[in-house]
């Protein structure tokens, strides 16, 4: 009899713990959603951009669903998730993204995923990919620079770099992001048969493979106006370079964007905050009165009702009274 009572008590305890755990998780998600809403509404200009882009993405998602283009539906869903990431980072890591930087990130995501991929701007405008990679180098350098700057100014972490080394770290961080992205493009092309590394039509090739003597001497073929594969003319008016030129152009413009911001960041730290351009792109720690996750948690805790008493707990108490 005692065993049965003990077993039923254990089951009741497990139920209590599961209910409390689910209630706690629900509270955390509610706090996070409310904090995200407050974060989004903090800056009017970035909120308008976010709201407008979100509506455009949802409209595009509906159109792609009607066309049964499920790959683009996935891209739209991914874009909606990416658009919320700047606010999520601010709330979670307690950093303040300047409004200019936040708008740049939102527009960059929309331009890359919706305009570039779904609306095929990469094909319609040959310079589209180059512009985005340049901006990516600039933004990645800004993020890398801000990470080091936050560590430099932290009281908890003993970390100190000179303005020059901060600029070098930011530059290297940006170039690393650019290289990893090119690895990703290459992997998608080789493993899944995509064409992310776009081809370039060229009219001159140099290759030691074509040297008649078989020596390590580049053999040049110039003025190429047509090329055939398996007896079939490609019809592109030249020879196809399959990705190398595209990759190198992407890395070069990434280099330019990273270098430009690294110089701006160096001058910003050297003169500590006088540069308006860098200040518009370098995140900083949130002020205590802007820690929305903490604010929401305190508001909900103070407004919370007395703890809910589970039915089985009431039965136990009534039994004790008897």
Same domain, 83 and 225: no
Same domain, 98 and 62: yes
Average pLDDT of the residues in 201-214: 91
Distances (CA, A) of 135 to 128, 200, 259: 11, 22, 12
pLDDT above 70: residue 110: yes
Q: Where are the alpha helices (DSSP H) in 160-310?
A: 163-192, 244-270, 276-279, 292-302
Nearest to 98 by CA among 148, 137, 154, 42: 42
Average pLDDT of the residues in 178-200: 90
Same domain, 86 and 210: no
Q: How many CB atoms lie within 10 A of CB 134?
A: 20
The predicted structure's pLDDT at residue 309: 46
Number of folded domains in the chain? 2
pLDDT above 80: residue 5: no
Q: How many CB atoms lie within 10 A of CB 116?
A: 19
pLDDT above 50: residue 228: yes
Same domain, 183 and 262: yes
Highest mean pLDDT among 18-27, 29-38, 41-50: 41-50
Same domain, 211 and 71: no
pLDDT above 60: residue 7: no
Token reading at 94: 């307690």
Same domain, 229 and 271: no
Same domain, 78 and 215: no
List the single range of 11-15, 61-65, 313-317 with lowest mean pLDDT. 313-317
Token reading at 265: 């960041």
The pTM score is 0.76
Same domain, 147 and 280: yes
Same domain, 214 and 73: no
The predicted structure's pLDDT at residue 313: 47
**54-107: per-residue pLDDT in tens?**
999 999 999 999 999 998 999 999 999 999 999 988 888 888 889 999 999 999
The answer to whether 66 touches 76, Cβ cutoff 8 Å, is no
List the single range of 41-50, 76-85, 148-157, 238-247 with lowest mean pLDDT. 148-157
Domain hosting residue 64, numbered range: 2-192+243-321
Same domain, 77 and 166: yes
Token reading at 59: 């409209």
Same domain, 59 and 83: yes
Question: Where a domain ends, among 213, 241, 269?
Answer: 241
Same domain, 272 and 231: no
The predicted structure's pLDDT at residue 22: 46
Distances (CA, A) of 129 to 90, 165, 217, 251, 296: 28, 30, 34, 11, 41
pLDDT above 50: residue 310: no
**250-262: per-residue pLDDT in tens?**
999 999 999 999 9
Token reading at 135: 């901006």
Instruction: Supply the mean pLDDT for the chain.
Output: 83
The predicted structure's pLDDT at residue 275: 66
């Amino acid at each position: 009899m005692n065993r049965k009572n003990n077993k039923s008590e254990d089951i009741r305890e497990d139920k209590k713990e599961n209910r409390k755990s689910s209630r706690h998780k629900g509270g955390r998600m509610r706090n996070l959603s409310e904090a995200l809403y407050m974060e989004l509404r903090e800056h009017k200009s970035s909120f308008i951009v976010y709201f407008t882009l979100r509506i455009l993405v949802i409209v595009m998602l509906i159109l792609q669903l009607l066309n049964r283009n499920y790959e683009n539906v996935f891209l739209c869903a991914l874009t909606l998730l990416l658009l919320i990431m700047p606010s999520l980072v601010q709330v979670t890591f307690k950093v303040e993204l300047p409004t200019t930087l936040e708008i740049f990130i939102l527009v960059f995501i929309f331009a890359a995923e919706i305009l570039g991929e779904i609306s095929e701007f990469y094909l319609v405008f040959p310079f589209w990919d180059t512009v985005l990679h340049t901006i990516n180098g600039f933004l990645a350098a800004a993020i890398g620079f801000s990470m080091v700057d936050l560590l430099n100014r932290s009281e908890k972490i003993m970390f100190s770099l000179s303005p020059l080394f901060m600029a070098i770290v930011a530059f290297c961080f940006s170039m690393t992001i650019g290289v990893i992205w090119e690895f990703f493009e290459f992997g998608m092309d080789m493993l899944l048969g995509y064409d992310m590394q776009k081809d370039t039509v060229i009219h001159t090739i140099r290759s030691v493979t074509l040297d008649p003597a078989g020596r390590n001497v580049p053999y040049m073929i110039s003025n190429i106006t047509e090329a055939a594969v398996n007896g079939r003319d490609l019809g592109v008016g030249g020879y196809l370079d399959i990705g190398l030129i595209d990759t190198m152009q992407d890395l070069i413009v990434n280099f330019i964007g990273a270098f430009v911001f690294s110089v701006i960041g160096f001058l910003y730290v050297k003169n500590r905050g006088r540069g308006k351009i860098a200040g518009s792109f370098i995140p900083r720690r949130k002020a205590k009165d802007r820690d929305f996750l903490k604010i929401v948690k305190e508001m909900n805790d103070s407004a919370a009702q007395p703890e809910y008493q589970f039915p089985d707990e009431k039965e136990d108490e009534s039994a004790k009274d008897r």
